[in-house]
Structure 1
């Protein structure tokens, strides 16, 4: 899937919209979009970003830690 950036977009924000919270998604999107990190935290509008599909089971979060039962 591809996404065209809008003014003020941030990669972490885009990844959260499409994939949910996970730092690994940002790293994976950067790996399939060489040079994307050059733009810094705020991306320019009109930039086309490739958003790969991920196997959801491969990125499942472990069970949360329960401090109290």
Structure 2
């Protein structure tokens, strides 16, 4: 688990977009809220200095590329 200290104007979805890999992002916001009880009560824009726990998320599975032609 990582810890992030919010800067003025930070939003949870933006933090998740910057911190997590592309394949991890679909459920990242929900998992961050689950790991941070009461975070949603602060509103969409976090106050500067808010501590946000960023839980470890499973790595995306790679999909093999199938080439039909050549």
Task: Structure 1: give runs of 5+ residues left out of the alignment.
Answer: 63-69
Dislocated runs of 4+, deviation >3 Å: none
Q: How does 1:1-69 map to 2 (within 5 A)?
A: 1-21=2-22, 22-57=25-60, 60=61
Which structure is larger by alpha-carbon Rg, 1 or 2? 2
Name the counterpart of 1:67. Answer: none
CA RMSD of aligned residues (A): 1.8
TM-score (structure 1 length as normaliser) = 0.77
Paired residues, what number? 60
Q: Indicate how the Cα distance of structure 1 residues 6 and 61 shifts in structure 2: closer, same or farther if over 3 A, else same.
A: farther
- The Cα of 1:23 is off from its aligned counterpart by 3.8
